[in-house]
Every structure is written in structure tokens, then in C-alpha cells.
Amino acid sequence: MSKLIIKHGSCVDMEVDVIVNAANKYLVSGGGVCGEIFRRAGYIELNNACKGFKTPLKDGSAVITPSFNINTCKYIIHAVGPDFNTTPDAFDSLYLAYYNSLILLKDNNLHSISFPLISSGIYGGGINNIDILSCEELIKAYESFNKSYDYDIIVYLCAYSEKEYNDIRKYDILN
């Protein structure tokens, strides 16, 4: 049976099959969770793997690489969330970043995944409650995936900051 669980903390710390990198379209190391994933995986190894993809990737796309030096997961899915600073109405792309990650999970015969709140940091564009809106897009993707596929998954949505966690925990969208 599939489950969606909200956690307080970093998706990088979860013991799962896959962690998700809130990636930029060039698949290069950045700040936040992206920078942390590159640091822990090994910058050179992960950078070389990412160079194997034709970039720039489109918003909403997702690709998979090994986890290299991260021993709490097997793979990293790099999901390209939209930049709401330049595209304020890009919620379809945000949904696709989550949904396409779930498809990659299934296509690689994996069952557990840990997401950050994609596009809620520097790509959030100052949109009020972007953490809640990002969470809603994950829930839509999760529900759509479960309607389309008979494939059990465990999805962790990790809210890094106390504010994000409280916003999402208080917001009654999972019931």
C-alpha cells in the first residue's frame, strides 16, 4: 500500500531508494538541497554523471543518476522545478517535476523516495505560501500516480525549515 509522509528535515538524510535533487536545468551544483546533494555524493562523480545528459532540461523533467558517496540511498533523481521568479504561473511544471520523479522511481523498480519542497526556495519567486503550494502539487502528482499505476510507493516530503514544516503540517491537505 502506498503512503505519503511529511517529515521535518532534509530529504538527503532519509534512508530510501531515491532522494530527489531540486535541480536546475543545467544539472550543475547550486545552493540549498542541490548543493548539499553534490557535496555528499561527491562533486566530481555527480558532476560527471550529470554531464551525460543533454542540457538545458525543460522545467518539469527528471533524470536519474547513481548516489555515489551517499550511502542512505541508491539513486538521485534530479527534478527540474520551475523558477517562479521568471515564470509565476508554472504550477503545471512543478506538478510534472514531482510526477515524472515518481515515474522514474517505478521505471527503475524502486519503491521509496524522499522529496524536498521543489521550487520553494530561491525559485519560489516570493509567492506567498509557496511551500504549501509545492506540497499541493506533490499531493496531486502522488494521487494521479496511484490512480494510474498499481505500484506501491512510500513518498516522504521533507520540509527543511521549521516554518515550512509547520505550514504544511497545519494545512489539512493530507486528510
Task: For the chain of 175 residues, list the mean pLDDT of each consecutive stretch of 10.
Answer: 91 96 95 93 97 97 98 97 88 97 98 96 84 93 97 94 82 49
Domain count, the chain: 1
Report in angstroms the alpha-carbon separations of 174 from 3, 63, 134, 138, 158. Answer: 11, 27, 13, 11, 14
What is the predicted pLDDT for the residue at 169? 78
Separation CA 100–CA 97 (nearest Å): 5
Is the residue at 91 inside a domain? yes
Find the helix or strand (DSSP H, E) in which 153 lies. Answer: none
Cα separation, 81 vs 95, in Å, equals 9
Integer Cα distance of 29 and 37 in angstroms: 8
Query: Domain containing 54: what range?
Result: 3-170
Is residue 127 assigned to a domain? yes
Domain with residue 129: its CATH number is: 3.40.220.10
Q: Does residue 175 lie in a domain region? A: no
- pTM: predicted TM-score of the whole model, two decimal places: 0.93
- Direct distance between the N- and C-terminal alpha carbons of the chain, in angstroms, rounded to an integer: 17
CA angle 142, 39, 22 (to 5 degrees): 25
User: What residues pair up with 115 in beta bridges, in sequence order?
Assistant: 157
Nine-digit cell string for 49: 554523471
**Residue 15 is assigned to a structural domain of this protein:** yes
Q: What is the pLDDT of residue 129?
A: 86
Per-position DSSP letters for 54-95, written without gaps between them: -SSPPTT-EEEEE-TT-TT-SEEEEEE---TTT-TT-HHHHH
For residue 4, give the C-alpha cell.
505519503
Residue 108 resides in a domain: yes
